[in-house]
Structure 1
C-alpha cells in the first residue's frame, strides 16, 4: 500500500510511519518542521531504504495541501490510505479559552481532516477505493473537565467520520477513526509525574496506551483486515469508558 500520514514526525504519527515501513509499505509523512522531518527521513531511509518520503507543510493551509497532493501523486502515483493524524491540544474551560486558541484547535484537529480528505477523495473514487483513518479521541465521545475546545473539535471528528462513511462507502472507500485515551507521547510525558500517575490510576489497565498500540489500530483500519469496518470510532482507552460510575464492590 501507499500511505500518507500527517503529523508524522513524532508521537503516534511517527509510530505509524515506522510500523507501515516495517511491514513493507511506501510511506509519505508530513510535518511542519522541515529540519526535523528531513533528519528523520534520512534516518528512516538508512533503516528501510527508499520507500519513505517527507513533505514539509501545514495541513491547515489549503495552498500547502494542494502542493502536498501534487507531491504525493508525483512520488507515490496514488494514495491507498490517508491517515489524518495531525492535531493539537489546548486545555481550559470555555470562558477561559481565547478565540485564537479555539480557532487553532479547530484548524489543526478538524479543518486539516476536511482539507486533506477533500484533496484525496476524488483520487480514491477514481481508483475504486481506499481508506481514510483519522485520529479522534475518547474526548470526542464523552466530556472532560477543562477541555472545552478539544472536546468540541474531537466530537466534530466523531460525527464527521459517520457522514463520510455514508457518502463514500459506495465507492469502496472506508473512513474510520481511532479514539485513543491518554497516550504516552512526548507531549503526555512532558507532564509532571503526579499528573501522569493520575491518568494511569484512572485507567482499568493501570497504564496509558502507547503510540505503538495506536499505530497498530491505524494499521488495522487502513488495511483489508478491517474491510467491514466503516464509520467506526475505535476506542483505545483501556476500558475507561465502560464504567457506570458506581463504586467498586
Structure 2
C-alpha cells in the first residue's frame, strides 16, 4: 500500500526537497503552504516530472480552523496519513530588547504553534489507524544559543523540548515523534544573503560548507520511515558538526 506524507512549508527550500524525495521513494505527498501561487506551481512542476501522486493545499497553519480543514481533506481523500512533516518556519533576528512583540508572536505562531495545531488535528486519526510518524524541523539554534537571535533560539528551543514530551505521550500509540535540527542550509532564502555572509557560514562549519535542502530531506525521510523504527524523541543535527565546538581557541 502506498504511504502518504503531509509536508508543511512545502513550496520551497527543505520542504520542497522533502516533497520530491518522498515522491522518489514512492510515497503520496500532500504539500501544504501559505504561499498558494508558489505551492501550486511547484506541485504542477512535480506532476510534469511524472509524479502523479502529489497534491497541494493552501493553509495558514497558525489557524486552528484551517488546520482542521486540511486534516479533514487529507483523511477523507487518502484514508490514512503515515507521516506529518512539520517543516514550516520563519526567522527573525535581534537581541531580546530589540525584538518587536509582533515579531516574537509571529515567530512562535509559525515555528511552534503550527506544530501544536498540526499534531492536535492529525494525531487522533493516527491513533485510530494504529500509528504513524511526526517529524518537526527544529534547529541547532534550539540546541545552543546564538548571538542576536533571542526569539528564534527561544522558539526552536521550545520545539527541541516539545518533541520529548510528544514522544513520551504517543509512543504507546505506535506514533514516533522526532526532530531534524539543521544548521544554516542552502535554501533560496539563505542564499539571498550577500556572498560574504554565506562564506562566513561555510568557513565556520567543520565540513567547510553549509548543508543542502536535500541532506535535510534525507534526514526527514529517515525519521519518517521504518528505517528509524526505534528512534523516538530525538533531535538529529544536520549541521556538519557546527554545534560541536566549545568555542575555546586552539592551544
Q: TM-score range by the shorter chain?
A: over 0.9
Deviations, residues 194-247 of structure 1 (Å, cap 9, x unaligned): 111111111010000000000000000000000010000000111111122232
Return the offset for 1:50.
2.3
Look up the match of 1:244: 246
- Greater mean alpha carbon deviation, residues 14-23 or residues 66-75: 66-75
Return the offset for 1:66.
1.0
- Taking the TM superposition and a 5 Å limit, the aligned residue runs for 1:83-102 are 83-102=85-104
Return the offset for 1:248.
2.9
TM-score by length of 1: 0.98
Look up the match of 2:15: 13
SS at match of 1:235: strand
- Write the distance in 1 (CA, Å) between the matches of 2:50 and 2:172: 35
Task: Tell me whether 1:225 sits opposite 2:221 in the alignment.
Answer: no
Look up the match of 1:59: 61
Task: Work out whether residues 92 and 146 of structure 1, in 8 Å CA contact, stay in contact via their aligned partners in 2.
Answer: yes
- Write the distance in 1 (CA, Å) between the matches of 2:174 and 2:50: 30
Look up the match of 1:212: 214
- Write the distance in 1 (CA, Å) between the matches of 2:243 and 2:52: 41
SS at match of 1:48: coil
Task: Work out whether residues 21 and 48 of structure 1, in 8 Å CA contact, stay in contact via their aligned partners in 2.
Answer: no
SS at match of 1:133: strand
Deviations, residues 99-129 of structure 1 (Å, cap 9, x unaligned): 0000000000000000000001111111111
- Greater mean alpha carbon deviation, residues 186-195 or residues 71-80: 71-80
Dislocated runs of 4+, deviation >2 Å: 244-249
Aligned length: 249
- Write the distance in 2 (CA, Å) between the matches of 1:201 and 1:121: 41
List gaps (5 residues or longer) in structure 1: none
- Write the distance in 1 (CA, Å) between the matches of 2:77 and 2:47: 15
What root-mean-square deviation, in Å, do the aligned CA atoms of Structure 1 and Structure 2 show?
Answer: 0.9
Look up the match of 1:196: 198
List gaps (5 residues or longer) in structure 2: none
- Write the distance in 2 (CA, Å) between the matches of 1:99 and 1:48: 45
- Write the distance in 1 (CA, Å) between the matches of 2:114 and 2:42: 22
- Write the distance in 2 (CA, Å) between the matches of 1:245 and 1:89: 24
- Write the distance in 2 (CA, Å) between the matches of 1:128 and 1:149: 37
